[in-house]
Amino acid sequence: NDILALHGIDDEWEWDSEGKTVMEGMAALSDWLKRHALALLSIDFGHDAYYMAIVTNDTTPQAIALGQSAGLNVLSFPDFAATQNA
Protein backbone atom coordinates (compact mmCIF):
# COMPACT_ATOMS: atom_id res chain seq x y z
CA ASN A 1 0.00 0.00 0.00
CA ASP A 2 2.94 2.36 0.57
CA ILE A 3 4.03 1.80 -3.04
CA LEU A 4 0.59 2.91 -4.21
CA ALA A 5 0.78 6.01 -2.05
CA LEU A 6 4.09 6.91 -3.73
CA HIS A 7 2.20 6.95 -7.03
CA GLY A 8 -0.63 9.06 -5.61
CA ILE A 9 -3.06 6.13 -5.55
CA ASP A 10 -5.42 6.26 -2.60
CA ASP A 11 -6.46 2.62 -2.50
CA GLU A 12 -5.53 -0.31 -0.29
CA TRP A 13 -5.17 -3.94 -1.23
CA GLU A 14 -6.92 -6.30 1.13
CA TRP A 15 -7.14 -10.05 0.81
CA ASP A 16 -8.73 -12.75 2.91
CA SER A 17 -6.13 -15.51 2.95
CA GLU A 18 -8.25 -17.99 4.88
CA GLY A 19 -8.02 -21.36 3.13
CA LYS A 20 -6.10 -19.96 0.15
CA THR A 21 -2.61 -20.63 -1.18
CA VAL A 22 0.25 -18.19 -1.54
CA MET A 23 -0.05 -18.50 -5.33
CA GLU A 24 -3.72 -17.53 -5.11
CA GLY A 25 -2.73 -14.48 -3.09
CA MET A 26 -0.05 -13.42 -5.55
CA ALA A 27 -2.48 -13.89 -8.45
CA ALA A 28 -5.07 -11.76 -6.67
CA LEU A 29 -2.45 -9.07 -5.99
CA SER A 30 -1.25 -9.16 -9.59
CA ASP A 31 -4.81 -8.71 -10.88
CA TRP A 32 -5.43 -5.87 -8.42
CA LEU A 33 -2.18 -4.11 -9.38
CA LYS A 34 -3.17 -4.15 -13.06
CA ARG A 35 -6.06 -1.82 -12.24
CA HIS A 36 -3.48 0.69 -11.01
CA ALA A 37 -1.10 0.39 -14.00
CA LEU A 38 1.35 -1.62 -11.90
CA ALA A 39 2.82 -5.07 -12.44
CA LEU A 40 4.07 -7.83 -10.17
CA LEU A 41 7.41 -9.37 -11.14
CA SER A 42 8.99 -12.56 -9.84
CA ILE A 43 12.71 -12.67 -9.09
CA ASP A 44 14.02 -16.21 -8.68
CA PHE A 45 17.16 -16.39 -6.55
CA GLY A 46 17.04 -20.18 -6.51
CA HIS A 47 15.75 -20.30 -2.94
CA ASP A 48 12.63 -21.97 -1.63
CA ALA A 49 10.89 -18.61 -1.32
CA TYR A 50 8.98 -16.09 -3.40
CA TYR A 51 10.63 -12.76 -4.16
CA MET A 52 8.44 -10.21 -5.90
CA ALA A 53 8.79 -6.64 -7.08
CA ILE A 54 6.12 -4.12 -8.00
CA VAL A 55 6.88 -1.87 -10.94
CA THR A 56 4.90 0.44 -13.19
CA ASN A 57 3.54 -1.12 -16.37
CA ASP A 58 5.66 1.16 -18.54
CA THR A 59 8.88 0.06 -16.82
CA THR A 60 8.07 -3.67 -16.77
CA PRO A 61 10.00 -4.63 -19.94
CA GLN A 62 13.03 -2.61 -18.83
CA ALA A 63 12.95 -4.07 -15.30
CA ILE A 64 12.80 -7.61 -16.67
CA ALA A 65 15.61 -6.94 -19.15
CA LEU A 66 17.83 -5.30 -16.54
CA GLY A 67 17.30 -8.18 -14.12
CA GLN A 68 18.05 -10.74 -16.78
CA SER A 69 21.16 -8.86 -17.91
CA ALA A 70 22.34 -9.05 -14.29
CA GLY A 71 21.93 -12.83 -14.42
CA LEU A 72 18.64 -12.97 -12.51
CA ASN A 73 15.60 -14.95 -13.53
CA VAL A 74 13.01 -12.15 -13.66
CA LEU A 75 9.54 -12.90 -15.01
CA SER A 76 6.22 -11.15 -15.22
CA PHE A 77 3.76 -12.69 -12.80
CA PRO A 78 1.72 -14.40 -15.55
CA ASP A 79 4.91 -15.97 -16.94
CA PHE A 80 6.00 -16.99 -13.45
CA ALA A 81 2.58 -18.48 -12.65
CA ALA A 82 2.74 -20.56 -15.83
CA THR A 83 5.98 -22.14 -14.60
CA GLN A 84 4.34 -23.08 -11.31
CA ASN A 85 1.54 -25.02 -12.97
CA ALA A 86 3.87 -27.05 -15.18
* DSSP bridge partners of 53: 41
pLDDT number for residue 7:
76
Q: How many CB atoms lie within 10 A of CB 17?
A: 10
Beta strand ranges found along the chain (DSSP E) = 38-44, 52-56, 73-76
- For the segment 15-47, what is each residue's pLDDT rounded down to a tens digit? 888 999 999 999 999 999 999 999 999 999 888
| DSSP code, position 72 | -
- For the segment 54-82, what is each residue's pLDDT rounded down to a tens digit? 999 999 999 999 999 999 999 999 999 99
Q: Is the pLDDT of residue 2 over 80?
A: no
Residue 86's pLDDT band (cuts 50, 70, 90): low
pTM of structure? 0.85
**Cα separations in angstroms, 45 against 28, 48, 67, 74, 84:** 23, 9, 11, 9, 15
Q: Is the pLDDT of residue 1 over 70?
A: no
58, 38, 30, 60 alpha-carbon torsion, rounded to 10°: 30
